[in-house]
């Protein structure tokens, strides 16, 4: 009997010293594997929580990949990990390294490291297309959201073969079928005084408000 108690005490001592509790290993959930990619931001939409990366792959090839970004799940910093940024500081054209984990069919960006770059950062403009000419690659935009430029008509240049055009909210690529009157958000860079458009998000037309007229009739009841 004494020997049995000594054996039990010995087993408990091994468990306590090792820090392993019976059943703890089987109960622990395996951590989701992390994935890392480096490349250039093609476009992003903070409201939709989407970022598309033109990522570097082996043998010098590149391909696009899409990630979900949120203020809560995505930490943004610089290479030294001393400058804490936010997803609102991200811009199309930036070189980044992104760490992500799988969540169903999506990949959630958990950390984004912004790489230093000497190239000018992309800027954004929103508004309605006034005119567009594909052959020389120019369009004019009546801006509605740019600080200090609301109501101004700006001229942009683009390469029809390289510009990325997306449709919101489906986020699917579309052919260059933008026409006057379309509401778009443009990612562009300024070079030699000209605005070069890199990508464009076309939004669905907002339906005109409808006016409903309600007619109320009153009736009078006379008691005899």
* Residue 220 is assigned to a structural domain of this protein: no
* Residue 25 is assigned to a structural domain of this protein: no
* Residue 72 is assigned to a structural domain of this protein: yes
Instruction: Please check the confidence at residue 166 and state whether its pLDDT lies above 80.
Output: no
The domain in which residue 51 lies consists of 34-114
CATH of the domain at 160: 2.40.50.320
For 130-158, write each residue's pLDDT tens digit.
Answer: 999 988 889 999 988 665 666 788 999 98
Looking at the structure, do residues 69 and 107 belong to the same domain, yes or no? yes
Looking at the structure, do residues 143 and 189 belong to the same domain, yes or no? yes
Q: Give the mean pLDDT of the chain.
A: 75
Q: What is the pLDDT of residue 22?
A: 52
* Residue 217 is assigned to a structural domain of this protein: no
* CB of 138 closer than 8 Å to CB of 186: no
* Residue 171 is assigned to a structural domain of this protein: yes
Quick one: which of 143, 146, 151, 137 has its CA closest to 196? 137
Q: How many CA atoms lie within 13 A of 2 on its CB side?
A: 0
Q: What is the pLDDT of residue 11?
A: 46
Looking at the structure, do residues 155 and 108 belong to the same domain, yes or no? no
For 84-122, write each residue's pLDDT tens digit.
Answer: 788 888 887 788 999 999 988 899 999 999 988 665 567
For 24-36, write each residue's pLDDT tens digit.
Answer: 444 555 666 889 9
Looking at the structure, do residues 78 and 142 belong to the same domain, yes or no? no
Domain total of the chain: 2
Please state, in angstroms and rounded to a whole number, the distance separating the CA atoms of residues 92 and 87: 12
Looking at the structure, do residues 110 and 128 belong to the same domain, yes or no? no
Looking at the structure, do residues 110 and 38 belong to the same domain, yes or no? yes
DSSP assignment string, 90-155: --TT-EEEEEEEEETTEEEEEEEEEPP-SSPPPEEEEEEEEEEETTTTEEEEEESSSTTTTT-EEE
Pairing of strands 164-168, 194-203: parallel
Instruction: Please check the confidence at residue 215 and state whether its pLDDT lies above 50.
Output: no
* Residue 39 is assigned to a structural domain of this protein: yes
Instruction: Please check the confidence at residue 210 and state whether its pLDDT lies above 50.
Output: no
């Amino acid at each position: 009997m004494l020997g049995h108690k000594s054996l039990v005490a010995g087993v408990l001592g091994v468990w306590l010293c090792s820090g392993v509790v019976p059943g703890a290993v089987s109960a622990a959930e395996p951590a989701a594997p992390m994935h890392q990619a480096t490349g250039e931001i093609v476009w992003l939409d903070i409201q939709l929580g989407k970022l598309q990366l033109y990522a570097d792959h082996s043998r010098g090839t590149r391909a696009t990949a899409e990630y979900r970004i949120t203020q809560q799940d995505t930490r943004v910093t610089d290479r030294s990990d001393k400058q804490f940024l936010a997803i609102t500081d991200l811009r199309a054209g930036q070189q980044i390294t992104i760490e992500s984990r799988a969540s169903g069919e999506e990949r959630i960006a958990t950390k984004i490291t912004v790489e230093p770059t000497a190239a000018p950062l992309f800027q954004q403009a929103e508004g309605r297309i006034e005119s567009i000419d594909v052959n020389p690659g120019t369009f004019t935009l009546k801006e509605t959201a740019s600080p200090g430029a609301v109501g101004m008509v700006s001229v942009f240049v683009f390469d029809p073969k390289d510009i990325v055009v997306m449709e919101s909210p489906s986020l699917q690529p579309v052919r260059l079928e933008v026409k006057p009157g379309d509401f778009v958000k443009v990612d562009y860079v300024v070079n030699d005084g000209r605005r070069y458009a890199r990508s464009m998000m076309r939004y669905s037309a907002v339906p005109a408000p409808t006016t409903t007229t309600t007619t109320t009739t009153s009736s009078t009841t006379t008691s005899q």
